[in-house]
Structure 1
Amino acid sequence: MKLYEIAHSRAGDKGNILNLSLIPFDGADYELLYDKVTASKVKHHLKGIVEGKVVRYELPNIKAFNFVCYDSLLGGVTTSLALDAHGKSLSSALLEIEID
């Protein structure tokens, strides 16, 4: 299944750092996401976009995750000519990850 079937996401940015939330629609799916959606899986899925490290923060009290992706916005909003300089569409890209 793809993540968009059980979760939603939102993207944000600070300079050349992308921030992606991952929140299950049903809190019961938090453990599944905990096991299946690792920082390395996100980095691999976004290869070519995320050049730096990806750090996953778990937020079990609110059943959510935050992925901080370094070196991912082609220099940041003010220095990039990228069509999506803020990386807002990357939340949709994250939700395309396939899990078992």
Structure 2
Amino acid sequence: MGNVQLREVAFARSGDKGNTVNIGLFAARPEWYEVFVREVTPERVKDHFRGLVEGEVECYLMPNIHAMNFVLRGALAGGGSTSIRMDNLGKCFGSNLLRMEIEADEA
């Protein structure tokens, strides 16, 4: 077993609505999907975004397209129109998630 960053084995797309961020995580190859389900849990995603996400993180599995959808509540310090953060949008959350390391087989 070794560690790999998600960016090496996945694609992500993200956006926001109000104070909620939505991240779609897609396995680059179908065989990676089960590894994602095991390793990329709502708890790990919330920990990865520690200090940014104040609410719950939910995950919806989409095995037919080898993808996961994460909903991060309380993630934008109030949302685009009220936040004083430099980047108050959810667009960059997908790229940030791809920096997460997961444990995976060498193959």
TM-superposed deviation, 1:10: 1.0
Q: Which runs of 5 or more residues in structure 1 are unaligned?
A: none
How large is the Cα RMSD of the aligned pairs? Answer: 0.8
TM-superposed deviation, 1:29: 0.7
Runs ≥4 residues deviating over 3 A? none
TM-superposed deviation, 1:62: 1.0
- Partners of 2:93 and 2:66 lie apart in 1 by 21
Equivalent residue for 2:51?
Answer: 48
Q: 2:35 aligns with which of 32, 35, 38?
A: 32
Q: 2:60 aligns with which of 57, 64, 70?
A: 57
The structure with more strand, counted as a fraction of residues: 2
Query: Normalising by the residue count of structure 2, what TM-score does the alignment of the two structures yield?
Result: 0.89
Equivalent residue for 1:98?
Answer: 101
Equivalent residue for 1:75?
Answer: 78
Equivalent residue for 2:18?
Answer: 15
Q: Which runs of 5 or more residues in structure 2 are unaligned?
A: none
Q: Which has the larger radius of gyration?
A: 2
Equivalent residue for 2:6?
Answer: 3
- Partners of 1:83 and 1:21 lie apart in 2 by 23
- What is the identity percentage for the equivalent residue pairs of Structure 1 and Structure 2? 44
Residue type matched to 1:97 in 2?
A: M
Query: Normalising by the residue count of structure 1, what TM-score does the alignment of the two structures yield?
Result: 0.95
